[in-house]
């Protein structure tokens, strides 16, 4: 589990296709001092496992499934990536709960200065947008962002200078793909509510219950 607060940028020093996936070598000497083999690390928001250390870099394997669902398969030598170590239970949760399981790939559509901030606009598929609300949270390439506005097929976020300075957002060209992870809590809420208002596909496999039942169960502590 992660927070979406990026600790630093790393540089891809090797991106090697292997049977069924890819092996990445990420150079970040300061970042690797507090890690061990087997640790989880978010690379551009995707949860990966450290398998080896070598000369200030760490190696990690990326499965074919992850390559299909993320932008990691497009990374080449010299590319910069956002890095975050897994959350400790004793840490402050400064961002929001991020699982590191990417939901979909979106695109950067606009970058516009707005005083001390920079407004970013992203396009996102419907499978992500159903969980996006104004003032809610979303992870973009592993970065915890607060949604400023919601559109039909995308959203905007105002990014502070500190976030820009330690992430790859500032260097991304317009049209660049980005990894998107919707708010984990929103997913659970939707699934819970679906038991009361019916499934999205209109199936009759389970009896529908009303919102009054939902509120009653919530007040009773789920009994």
Q: What are the pLDDT digits (tens) for 124-156?
A: 999 999 999 999 999 999 999 999 999 999 999
Name the pLDDT band for 1 (thresholds 50, 70, 90): confident
Average pLDDT over residues 151-164: 95
pLDDT at 185 over 70: yes
pLDDT attached to residue 30: 78
Tell me: the pLDDT tens digits for 186-214?
Answer: 888 888 777 666 555 555 555 556 656 65
Whichever domain contains 32, its CATH number is 2.40.30.20
Q: Say how many C-beta atoms besides its own lie within 10 A of residue 38's C-beta.
A: 8
Residues 6+ apart with CB under 8 A from 24: 12, 14, 15, 16, 43, 48, 59, 60, 61, 62, 72, 75
Question: Does a structural domain hold residue 165?
Answer: yes
**Inside any domain, residue 90:** no
At 38, phi and psi to the nearest 5?
A: 100, -10
Overall number of domains in the chain: 3
124 and 173: one domain? yes
Q: Are residues 35 and 58 in the same domain?
A: yes
* pLDDT above 70: residue 162: yes
Q: Do residues 77 and 21 share a domain?
A: yes
User: pLDDT confidence of 10, banded at 50, 70, 90?
Assistant: very high
Q: What is the pLDDT of residues 65-121, one digit of tens each?
A: 999 999 999 999 999 999 999 887 767 777 788 899 999 999 999 999 999 999 999
For residue 97, being part of any structural domain is answered with no
Structural domain range at position 214: 185-219
Q: Are both 81 and 127 inside the same structural domain?
A: no
pLDDT higher than threshold 60 for residue 223: no
C-beta separation of 63 from 21 below 8 A: yes
pLDDT tens profile 21-67: 999 999 998 776 778 999 999 999 999 999 999 989 999 999 999 99
The whole-model pTM stands at 0.86
CA pseudo-torsion sign 78, 120, 44, 178: negative
């Amino acid at each position: 589990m992660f927070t979406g607060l990026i600790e630093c940028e790393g540089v891809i020093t090797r991106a090697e296709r292997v049977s069924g996936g890819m092996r990445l070598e990420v150079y970040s000497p300061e970042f690797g001092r507090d890690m061990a083999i087997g640790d989880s690390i978010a690379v551009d928001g995707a949860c990966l496992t450290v398998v080896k250390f070598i000369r200030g870099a760490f190696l990690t394997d990326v499965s074919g499934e992850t390559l299909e669902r993320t932008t990691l398969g497009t990374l080449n030598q010299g590319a910069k990536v956002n890095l975050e170590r897994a959350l400790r239970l004793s840490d402050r949760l400064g961002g929001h709960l991020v699982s590191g399981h990417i939901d979909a790939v979106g695109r950067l559509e606009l970058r516009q200065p707005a005083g001390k901030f920079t407004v970013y606009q992203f396009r996102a598929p419907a499978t992500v947008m159903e969980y996006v609300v104004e003032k809610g949270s979303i992870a973009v390439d592993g970065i915890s962002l607060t949604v400023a506005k919601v559109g039909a097929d995308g959203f905007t976020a105002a990014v502070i200078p500190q976030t820009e300075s330690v992430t790859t957002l500032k260097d991304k060209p317009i049209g660049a793909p980005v990894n998107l992870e919707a708010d984990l809590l929103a997913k659970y809420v939707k699934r819970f509510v679906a038991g009361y208002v019916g499934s999205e596909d209109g199936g009759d496999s389970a009896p529908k219950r009303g919102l009054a039942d939902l509120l009653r169960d919530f007040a009773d502590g789920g009994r």
